[in-house]
Amino acid sequence: MHTKPNNKTALHWPTTALQILESAANIIAEKLNHQDVYTNPQSTKDFLLYKLGGYEREVFGVMLLNSQHQLIEFRELFFGTIDAASVYPREVVKAVLEVNAAAVIFAHNHPSGESEPSQADKQITKKLTDALALIDVRVLDHIVVGTTPVSFAERGLL
């Protein structure tokens, strides 16, 4: 005999913390996408904390924005180890050109929870900013996601 499950007997799949964070990031992105708020560092930090905060290894991503600074796409480009990720300017430029982005915000996490930008973080940001300047794409910020996200723009590092 085959019975149809009702609401009381329906299966409930376990939800992981990463799935919850991803859902929260999607809700924030949907809310922010209809407003021009990706120029606000706090809103951007909130979005990126949910996007990258749950990873146990370093992940470098880029928010690809249109000319009104609305999100076209958030793309995770490079995956590393617990304390480093190799970032290639050529791949970043390729991603920008694929969606015709006018501006970008870089982001990566520090799985240790320490948000302070390293010298390597500053060097790659400069290298990427220089590469994107050649094709007239603005770098609005680089956010390091740790326990408390840090904005390069707020620190005057851009």
pTM: 0.77
pLDDT band of residue 82 (cuts 50, 70, 90) is confident
Q: How do the domains of the chain map onto residue ranges?
A: 17-155
The CATH class of the 17-155 domain is alpha beta
Predicted confidence (pLDDT) at residue 1 exceeds the cutoff of 80 = no
- Report the percent of the chain where pLDDT is more than 90: 64
Which three-class secondary structure string do you get for the chain?
Answer: CCCCCCCCCCCCCCCCHHHHHHHHHHHHHHHHHCCCCCCCHHHHHHHHHHHHCCCCCCEEEEEEECCCCCEEEEEEEEECCCCCCCCCHHHHHHHHHHHCCCEEEEEEECCCCCCCCCHHHHHHHHHHHHHHHCCCCEEEEEEEECCCCEEHHHHCCC
User: What does the pLDDT read at residue 2?
Assistant: 44
User: What does the pLDDT read at residue 20?
Assistant: 66
pLDDT in tens, 34-58: 555 577 778 889 999 989 988 999 9
